[in-house]
Amino acid sequence: MGKKMLFCFLGIMAVCFLSVNPVFAAISGSAHDFSGDTWSGGQTCGICHTPHSASSTIAPLWNHTLSAAVYTLYSSPSLNAAVGQPSASSKACLSCHDGTVALDSFGGSTSGTSFLTGSDNLTADISNDHPVSFAYNAALAATDGELFDPTAKTVAVLGGKSITDGMLIGGNLECGSCHDVHAGKGDAGVSGNHLLIVNNTGSALCLTCHNK
């Protein structure tokens, strides 16, 4: 194969790769791209991830200081799920969004000064927020009576994947079940959509799981 043909082939392969894997580029320019903030050192990925010396408790290759908060959890007489303290996946989100750890506390630093404010700061009292870190399965749906079976209900914007395969994390409903931090899944990349995997116009996100 000549050099020109080789370069052409490699170029076509690169375009094809990027077209079927948009999630790898989606963080740039999203709400979680902090490369333009002075405290970030121009980093896009390093605020959350590192190739070396990562956290041993949170994957993938976690680099941000974790919160030590004990959370006040949501409860309701109609809640049939067993909700516990946030598990690793949701605690990764809360390491910034509970307001106890600064955005610039990463890479071993605990002395950051840039904290989330306003509605981005959920605080350690998440009793007024949708519960997370609970098993969402066919058994819960049957017990509740107003939830879809996540193994059977499909999600159009996820290419027809089931809730279980497309939204749940280890079989649990977590922060990342509704929001995609990398803005590349479903509707998450739509401007002004709060990184929601399913745009909630007409309560579409709610009605993905809730059978009303």
Q: What is the pLDDT of residues 90-117, one digit of tens each?
A: 999 999 999 999 999 999 999 999 999 9
The model's pTM is: 0.85
In this predicted structure, what is the pLDDT of residue 28? 87
Which tens digits make up the pLDDT trace of 114-135? 999 999 999 999 999 999 999 9
The tokens describing 184, both together, are 């590349």
Distance of alpha carbon 169 from alpha carbon 60, whole angstroms: 13
Tokens 């408790």 correspond to 57
Question: DSSP assignment, residue 151?
Answer: T
Check if the beta carbon of residue 80 is closer than 8 Å to that of residue 107.
no
- Which amino acid is it at 182? H
Check if the beta carbon of residue 87 is closer than 8 Å to that of residue 134.
no
Check if the beta carbon of residue 50 is closer than 8 Å to that of residue 108.
no
Per-residue pLDDT of the chain (212 residues; tens, 9 = 90+): 454 444 443 343 333 333 333 333 478 888 899 999 999 999 999 999 999 999 999 989 999 999 999 999 999 999 999 999 999 999 999 999 999 999 999 999 999 999 999 999 999 999 999 999 999 999 999 999 999 999 999 999 999 999 999 999 999 999 999 999 999 999 999 989 999 999 999 999 999 999 99
CA angle 84, 81, 74 (to 5 degrees): 55
Nearest alpha carbon to residue 109 among 39, 45, 170, 174:
39
Nearest alpha carbon to residue 84 among 72, 67, 98:
72
